[in-house]
Amino acid sequence: MTTEVRSMAEIAQRLKRRWLELVLVSALLLALGVLFSTTGLTLGDVISKRFLGATLRLSVPIAFAALGGIFAEKSGVINIGLEGHLIIAAFAAIAGVIMTGSVWAGFLAGILASTLFAVLFAIVCIEFQADQVIAGLAIWLVALGLGPFLSTVLYGSVNTPQTGSFQTITIPGLASLPVIGALFDVTPPVYLLYVAVIGCWYVLNHTAFGRWVNASGENPQALDTAGIDVIRVRYVSVILSGVLAGIGGAGYALSIGQFTGSGETMIGGRGFIAVVAYLLGNYNPIGAFLSTALFAGLQTLQIQLQTGVLPASLVQTVPYITVIVVLAAVGHTRTPAAAGEHYESGDE
Amino acid sequence: MTDSDSRWRALLHRIVYASAFERMVISLAALVLSILVGGVLILVSGRLTTCPTAATTYLGVGFCYDPITVFDRLFFGALGDPMNPLFKPFAGEFAAPFRAGWSPFNAEMAVTLRETTVLIFTGLSVAVAFRADVFNIGTQGQLVVGAITSAVSLTALGPVAPSGIAGSLVLIPAGLLAGAIAGGLYGAIPGALKAYADANEVITTIMLNFVAAKVALFLVSGPLQRADSQIAQTEPIPAAASIPSVLFDARTGFSLVALAVAVCTALACYYLLNHTTLGYELRTSGLQAAAARYAGVKTDRTIVGSLVLSGALGGLGGAIYVMMIVGDFQTGVPSYGFDGITVAILAGSNPLGVLLAAPLFGIIQSGSIVIDTTTNVPPQLVDVLRGLIVLFVAMPEFFRQFGRRFFDDDGGEIDG
């Protein structure tokens, strides 16, 4: 009887959701239609090398942070502080370039800074059993303060001076293909992104470590019983999320050549968009990359629309509103069973 | 073991394990630890920068920034330097503790209390949602929406309102109400999205912060911009709508009346959470959603309700910001909403705790202005401290383990 009642409630819930999804998707289509018809933007502007190239560049911070977030959350540690990793990596990368004069050294400095933050976050969450969401927010708040603070200490302003940046590497032949040629005319971090997406997908689905990460988030007891150290799997996953987000933050800053720290810094919520990107991609690296392309594409569109008739500040809200709509539409994503919970090994 | 020794141990045991008291100890310990880490950061950054003469020297190494000066300015500067330099209790000199000529109604104190007033509202906003297990990171956006709505409604009401005291009696409540309603409605959006579409409120509220800031920028630099102004600001609110200052200089932008309203709001929130049905529903759905549903609590409605209430408190903070501090709406609203997160976490999400944590953060904010004008340390230091405090409060287990190791030799059998 009770199961029947519950299933009735579930059906009602599911019907309600279908209806909601329909409303949200039609609202989104309507908004896009209005956007195209009022701004005189054509499909040809969107399906172009320039558009694809800009989208790929803007994908770097979101996609790398999303890949990192997948590892952390699949292992059972929700890393909502990805934004903080991006900020600190972006600042450290630029500071590294200014100190050493080498873009690649700056890139490594950014990754290192983000990784150190991840080690701190891992210790706080795993060793000291902190509330993961609050600790993640703290990591973001610390980075939000530390980046502009150190920039002011070193360079007298929350914005750093302009430095050298990554140059695009053009692959002859492939780069001259129509439209998709843009995929082969990009900066090193974008090429790294292709490798990382495939690599993460392979590791998660076809290696023992991938299975451990999965089990650590879904059924840590079983993993423990199988003789694998759950704590160690979680440490490695969280630190990996810091490395990946670090590549994203450093790669993004070094494609611009400056760290801007006013307001919400140059990262401007991309770490939080990354969380939505991997939820939308259902924890699959390739899915996360595709949903990143959606958000990054909207940001590119927004930059192109700023030259149009609509006020810039209103157009800038488009990616943020899309994130909210998408999150509402995919809200039912199943998170790993043990995500957010502390795991205590039985033999201690 | 002597009698007094065991009594000490019992007391320390309570400090380490008692849960209500424990929260306060952990908050204090987190604060102290943040200050220590902040001090190290000041020293390290003092080595990274260059200066003509060292501000301080430790172990033969010169540093450009002196943490002791910084924290002295941060805490005592924010109170208008109350301490008598001749008062040195540790050196055995007991002059009058307060400096001659120090008045509690000084300008720095006014800034401290002004910040405290807004922070009580934003701290309560985050705390009320936390109690229902809802992470409202959107207080900043709700404050902005409340502030702009309050400013616009007051400008519209100005011409039809009576003049003098009667005008204030109409306009001030109207401005507060407008801010609360707008903030509440803006809070209802993530509330409904969480309750009916399972959308994680941490993400939606952060996104809505961006949306609020961008839309506010559009409004005050376009349709609502002051006619003769070069900068993005609305028309000034009518004079009768500014909250009157009592005892303090009106130019400091602080009003004891507004502080009194803030304190009463905190007491009302405490009563609401602990002595009403709505408060019971909020707390139970926060503690155990399934159990609450079983007990007949409509958890969906409770989630929306908690975010509406939370947003209304943020919106009230925005109205106070307009009516007490700026006198119109401008872009570049300080990050009261993010500081509210720290205040609420430091307060253990208890409205009465907010009354203790908000002044502390008011001091830190006001002190950051003193640091900016009297030292060469960047005032963004305070933003780092904000993050560190949240980080350390989030890890009570760290302090428990620390406490066990140092104060307890019975081993870790008893769990807090």
Q: Is A40 exposed, middle or buried (0-12, 13-18, 19+ CB in 10 A)?
A: exposed
CB contact under 8 A, B391 and A158: no
Q: Which helix (H) or strand (E) holds B142?
A: helix B139-157
CB contact under 8 A, A323 and B381: no
Name the pLDDT band for A19 (thresholds 50, 70, 90).
low
Best of A78, A99, A141 to mutate (most B CBs within 10 Å, chain B): A141
Name the pLDDT band for B355 (thresholds 50, 70, 90).
very high
With CA atoms as reference, report the closest residue to B151 among B176, B184, B120, B116.
Answer: B176
CB contact under 8 A, B397 and A128: yes
Q: Is B264 exposed, middle or buried (0-12, 13-18, 19+ CB in 10 A)?
A: exposed
What topology does CATH give the domain A48-329? ABC transporter involved in vitamin B12 uptake, BtuC (1.10.3470)
Tokens representing residue B403 in the block: 């406490």
Per-residue pLDDT tens over the stretch A157-211: 999 999 988 998 888 888 888 878 888 889 999 999 999 999 999 999 999 999 9
Q: Which residue has the tokens 């070069």?
A: B230
CA distance B336 to B342: 10
Q: Which helix (H) or strand (E) holds B350?
A: none
CB contact under 8 A, B398 and A128: yes
ipTM of the complex: 0.85
Whether residue B289 has pLDDT greater than 80 = no
Mean pLDDT of B92-98: 74
pLDDT at residue B409, as a whole number: 52
Are B391 and A138 a contacting pair, CB within 8 Å?
yes
Side-chain half-sphere exposure of A34, counting CA atoms within 13 A: 9
CB contact under 8 A, B390 and A138: yes
Name the pLDDT band for B411 (thresholds 50, 70, 90).
very low
Best of B41, B214, B217 to mutate (most A CBs within 10 Å, chain A): B214
pLDDT at residue A152, as a whole number: 93
Whether residue A308 has pLDDT greater than 70 = no
Whether residue B403 has pLDDT greater than 80 = no
Name the pLDDT band for A3 (thresholds 50, 70, 90).
very low
DSSP-derived 3-state class of residue B61: strand
CB contact under 8 A, A323 and B203: yes
CA distance A242 to B131: 31
Mean pLDDT of B323-338: 90
With CA atoms as reference, report the closest residue to A242 among A76, A128, A88.
Answer: A88
With CA atoms as reference, report the closest residue to A251 among A51, A58, A46, A66.
Answer: A58
Per-residue pLDDT tens over the stretch A30-60: 777 766 666 666 666 777 888 899 999 999 9
Mean pLDDT of A205-232: 92
Task: Between B261 and B227, name the one with better pLDDT.
Answer: B261
Evaluated on CA atoms B138, B139, B141, B142, the torsion sign reads positive
pLDDT at residue A11, as a whole number: 65
Nearest to B202 among A80, A127, A264 (CB): A80
CB contact under 8 A, B200 and A327: yes
Whether residue B170 has pLDDT greater than 60 = yes
pLDDT at residue B177, as a whole number: 96
Closest approach of A71 to chain B, Cα-based (Å)? 19
Whether residue B358 has pLDDT greater than 80 = yes
CB contact under 8 A, B200 and A316: no
Closest approach of B342 to chain A, Cα-based (Å)? 9
Mean pLDDT of A54-79: 95
- For B346, which residue in chain A has the nearest alpha carbon? A134
Nearest to B197 among A20, A133, A140 (CB): A20
pLDDT at residue B288, as a whole number: 66
Evaluated on CA atoms B218, B224, B225, B227, the torsion sign reads positive
Closest approach of B45 to chain A, Cα-based (Å)? 7
CB contact under 8 A, A139 and B391: yes
- For B209, which residue in chain A has the nearest alpha carbon? A320
pLDDT at residue A1, as a whole number: 41
Name the pLDDT band for B103 (thresholds 50, 70, 90).
confident
CB contact under 8 A, A130 and B397: yes
Residues of A in contact with B215 (CB under 8 A): 313-314, 317
CA distance A182 to A53: 5
Closest approach of A122 to chain B, Cα-based (Å)? 12
CB contact under 8 A, B387 and A328: no
- For B380, which residue in chain A has the nearest alpha carbon? A149
CB contact under 8 A, B207 and A320: yes
pLDDT at residue B20, as a whole number: 66
Residues of B in contact with A329 (CB under 8 A): 197
| Alpha helix ranges (H) inside chain A | 2-39, 43-46, 49-74, 82-100, 103-122, 132-155, 188-206, 208-218, 220-225, 230-256, 270-280, 285-305, 312-315, 317-329
DSSP-derived 3-state class of residue B80: coil
CB contact under 8 A, B390 and A141: yes
Are B377 and B65 a contacting pair, CB within 8 Å?
yes
With CA atoms as reference, report the closest residue to A283 among A202, A343, A196, A201.
Answer: A201
Classify residue B94 by its DSSP letter: -
DSSP-derived 3-state class of residue B88: strand
Residue A169, strand partner residues: A186
Give percent above pLDDT 90 in chain B: 34
Beta-strand relationship, A169-170 and A185-186: antiparallel
Tokens representing residue A86 in the block: 């991006």
Best of B64, B70, B200 to mutate (most A CBs within 10 Å, chain A): B200
Q: Which helix (H) or strand (E) holds A185?
A: strand A185-186
Closest approach of B103 to chain A, Cα-based (Å)? 33
Domains of chain B, residue spans: 110-361
CB contact under 8 A, A153 and B45: yes
Residue B88, strand partner residues: B93
CB contact under 8 A, A317 and B338: no
Query: Which residues have C-beta within 8 Å of that of residue A45, sequence separation ≥ 6?
Result: A51, A304
Whether residue B401 has pLDDT greater than 50 = yes
Nearest to A314 among B199, B215, B387 (CB): B215
CA distance A288 to A276: 9
DSSP-derived 3-state class of residue B395: coil
Q: In whole angstroms, what separates CA A25 from the centre of its chain?
A: 23
Residues of B in contact with A137 (CB under 8 A): 135, 137, 202, 341, 390
CB contact under 8 A, A131 and B341: no
Name the pLDDT band for B407 (thresholds 50, 70, 90).
low
With CA atoms as reference, report the closest residue to B205 among B145, B152, B151, B153.
Answer: B145
Whether residue A92 has pLDDT greater than 70 = yes
Whether residue B334 has pLDDT greater than 80 = yes
Whether residue A87 has pLDDT greater than 70 = yes
Residues of A in contact with B393 (CB under 8 A): 134
Residue B63, strand partner residues: B56
pLDDT at residue A101, as a whole number: 92
Q: What are phi and psi of B57, to 5 degrees?
A: -130, 125
Give a three-class secondary structure readout of B296-315.
CCCHHHHHHHHHHHHHHHHH
Closest approach of B16 to chain A, Cα-based (Å)? 15
Per-residue pLDDT tens over the stretch A238-248: 999 999 999 99
Per-residue pLDDT tens over the stretch A243-294: 999 999 999 999 999 999 988 899 988 999 899 889 888 899 999 999 899 8
DSSP-derived 3-state class of residue B34: helix
Whether residue A220 has pLDDT greater than 70 = yes
Best of B70, B130, B218 to mutate (most A CBs within 10 Å, chain A): B218
CB contact under 8 A, A133 and B401: no
Per-residue pLDDT tens over the stretch B367-390: 988 888 888 889 888 899 989 998
Tokens representing residue B264 in the block: 């009463």
Closest approach of B86 to chain A, Cα-based (Å)? 34
Task: Between B29 and A312, name the one with better pLDDT.
Answer: B29
CA distance B414 to B416: 7
CB contact under 8 A, A152 and B207: no
pTM listed for this prediction: 0.86
With CA atoms as reference, report the closest residue to B154 among B220, B219, B237, B236.
Answer: B237
Whether residue A2 has pLDDT greater than 60 = no
Mean pLDDT of A208-231: 92
Are A263 and A313 a contacting pair, CB within 8 Å?
no
Q: What are phi and psi of B339, to 5 degrees?
A: -65, -30
Task: Between B363 and B294, name the one with better pLDDT.
Answer: B363
Residues of A in contact with B218 (CB under 8 A): 311, 313-314
Closest approach of A135 to chain B, Cα-based (Å)? 6
Are B78 and B108 a contacting pair, CB within 8 Å?
yes
Which CA distances in Å does A171 have to A13, A164, A176, A252, B34? 51, 22, 9, 21, 50
Are B154 and B171 a contacting pair, CB within 8 Å?
yes
Q: Is B59 exposed, middle or buried (0-12, 13-18, 19+ CB in 10 A)?
A: exposed
Tokens representing residue B373 in the block: 């004008």
Are A231 and A129 a contacting pair, CB within 8 Å?
no
Whether residue A95 has pLDDT greater than 80 = yes
pLDDT at residue A323, as a whole number: 84
Per-residue pLDDT tens over the stretch B241-282: 888 887 787 777 888 899 999 999 999 999 998 888 888 888
Nearest to B386 among A133, A145, A154 (CB): A145
Q: Which helix (H) or strand (E) holds B56?
A: strand B56-58
Closest approach of A141 to chain B, Cα-based (Å)? 5
Residue A186, strand partner residues: A169
- For B389, which residue in chain A has the nearest alpha carbon? A138
Per-residue pLDDT tens over the stretch A110-129: 999 999 999 999 999 999 88
Residues of A in contact with B391 (CB under 8 A): 124, 135, 138-139, 141-142
Q: What is the dihedral of CA B185, B191, B193, B196, to 10 degrees?
A: -120
pLDDT at residue A159, as a whole number: 93
Tokens representing residue A178 in the block: 């129509």
Residues of B in contact with A150 (CB under 8 A): 45, 48
pLDDT at residue A348, as a whole number: 44
With CA atoms as reference, report the closest residue to A231 among A114, A128, A134.
Answer: A128
Tokens representing residue B127 in the block: 């705390």
CB contact under 8 A, A321 and B211: yes
- For A155, which residue in chain B has the nearest alpha carbon? B49
The residue type found at B234 is: T
Whether residue A344 has pLDDT greater than 80 = no
With CA atoms as reference, report the closest residue to B223 among A313, A321, A37, A303.
Answer: A313
CB contact under 8 A, B221 and A20: no
Nearest to B384 among A131, A142, A154 (CB): A142
pLDDT at residue B290, as a whole number: 63
Whether residue A98 has pLDDT greater than 90 = yes
CB contact under 8 A, B193 and A80: no
The residue type found at A291 is: S
Task: Between B48 and A28, name the one with better pLDDT.
Answer: B48
CA distance A218 to B337: 35
